[in-house]
Amino acid sequence: MRPLTEIELQEIRKSIMRKEISSAEILMEIYDHYISHLQEFSEEEFNEQLVELDQKFTYGYCHSLQFRFIKKAKEEIHQTQWMVIRKYFCASRWMYLVVILVLVFYVAMQARTEEELGILLLSPLILLLIANIAFGYQNFKKLRPIKKTFKGIGILINSSLALPISERMYFPILMAQLFVYVPKLIFSQIDLSPFLPAGAAAITVLLTLYVISLLEVWKIKSKTALI
Amino acid sequence: MSNNNLIKGSLQTIILKLLEENDRMYGYEITQRVKELTEGEIKITEGALYPALHKLEAEGMLTTEIQQVDNRVRKYYSLTKDGQKEVSAKMSELQSFVGNLQRILDPGWKPGLA
C-alpha cells in the first residue's frame, strides 16, 4: 500500500465527478473504494487500474446504485418513524401523553381569542422550525468534507437520508395550513367557535407527537449517517 | 471457480459471515478478504457487493459507522442483533443446499465422508 500523490487524487476525483453523483453516501463510498484499490498498485499501473475501476463503476451503475439507495433511505426513514411511535411511546410514555393532552386541553379551554389558540397551534411548529435549523446546520457540518473534496462537481451534493427527513419537517406546516383554512372554507356558514379550543388542542398534541418522533428518528440516524 | 452466478446467490451469506468474524469492515476490505481467503478463486464484483450491502443495511441486518480516514470519509459495516441471528440461519441454509447439491452431483456421497 502506498500513499497516492495529489495529482493521482485529482485524477480519481475527476473520474468520479464525471459520474454526476449527488448522493453524499454513494459518493464517499465510491471515492473510498477507488483510493483503497489504487493504493495497492504502483504509479506505473495507476492509469490502467483507474480505467478498470471506471469500467466497473460506470455512469449507469452509479446512478442505479444511487436511485436504489435513495428509495431505500425514504422507506427506512418512514419505517424508523413508525418504529419510534410504536416502541418509543410505550405504555408508560402514553400515560405522559395523556397528562400532556389534558394539560393542553385545559390551556386551550382557557384561551379567549382565536389569536391565543393560534399561538397554541404555533408552539410545535416553532419547535419544528428550531429543529429544522439545527438539522440543516448539522447536515452542513457533516457534508462539508465531502463537498470540499468534490468542489466544482457542478451538482448539489446532498445526503440521501436528509431529504426524506426535510420533507417530513415541512409536512406539518402544510397540514397546519390545511387544518386552519379548509374548515373556514367548507363550513363558512357554521359557527365553529365552540369546537375551536378542542380542535386546536388535538392538533397541537398530534403535531407535538409527530415532531418528537421525527427528532428521535434524526437522533437515531445521526449516529450512523451523514445527518 | 469464478462463476458470478454461483456466487450471487450466496453473497449475502458471505458478507454476513465475514462480518461475524470481523467486527466491522468497509466495502473494499470485504472484496479483498474474500479474494485472500479463496486465494483469488472467488472475486466479489463491486457491481454486486454494494447493492447487497445497501440491501442488508435497509433490512436492518447491518448498521453503519462513518469514520474519517486520511482525507476521506469511510463507511464501515457491522452486524446488528438481527444480523447476528441471521448469520446462523443463512449458514445452515447454505450448508444444507451444498449438501443437497453434493447428493445430486455424486449420489454415492454421504455427509461426513471426504
CA distances from B5 to A80, A110, B61 (A): 34, 70, 23
Q: How far is B74 from chain A (nearest CA, A)?
A: 6
pLDDT tops 80 at residue B111: no
Q: Mind listing the pLDDT tens digit for each residue in B11-66?
A: 999 999 999 999 999 999 999 999 999 999 888 988 899 999 999 998 999 999 99
ipTM score: 0.87
Give the residue among A203, A211, A177 at the shortest CA–CA distance from A101. Answer: A203
pTM: 0.84
Among 3.40.50.10800, 3.40.50.300, 1.20.200.10, 1.10.10.10, what is the CATH number of B4-104?
1.10.10.10
Mutate to test the interface with B, among A6, A224, A227 (most CBs of B within 10 A): A224
Largest CA distance in chain B: 57
pLDDT of residue A119: 84
Q: Which residues of chain B does A68 touch, with a Cβ-Cβ cutoff of 8 Å? A: 51, 54
Q: What is the pLDDT of residue B14?
A: 95
Gap from A208 CA to chain B (nearest CA, Å): 28
CA atoms within 13 A on the CB side of A81: 18
Q: Which residues of A touch B75 (CB under 8 A)?
A: 25, 28-29, 32
Name the residue ranges covered by the structural domains of chain B: 4-104
**What is the phi-psi region of residue B113: left when phi exceeds 0, alpha when psi lies from -120 to 50, beta otherwise?**
beta
What is the tens place of the pLDDT at every residue in A114-172?
788 888 878 888 888 898 999 999 999 999 989 999 988 788 999 999 989 999 988 88
Give B27 to chain A, closest Cα distance, Å: 7
Tell me if B39 sits within 8 A of A26, measured CB to CB: no
Residue A131: burial class (beta carbons within 10 Å; 0-12, 13-18, 19+): middle
Which residue from A35, A69, A226 is facing B54, i.e. has the nearest CB? Answer: A69
Q: Are A95 and A219 in contact (CB under 8 A)?
A: no
In total, chain B counts a number of residues equal to 114
Over residues A197-208, the pLDDT tens digits come to 888 888 888 888
Query: What mean pLDDT is reported for chain A?
Result: 88
CA distance A215 to A132: 10
Percent of chain B with pLDDT over 90: 58
- Pick from B25, B75, B78 the residue to mutate for testing the A interface (most A CBs within 10 Å): B75
Q: Single out the residue of A34, A66, A22, A224 nearest to residue B57, CA to CA.
A: A224
Please report the pLDDT score of residue A100 as a whole number: 80
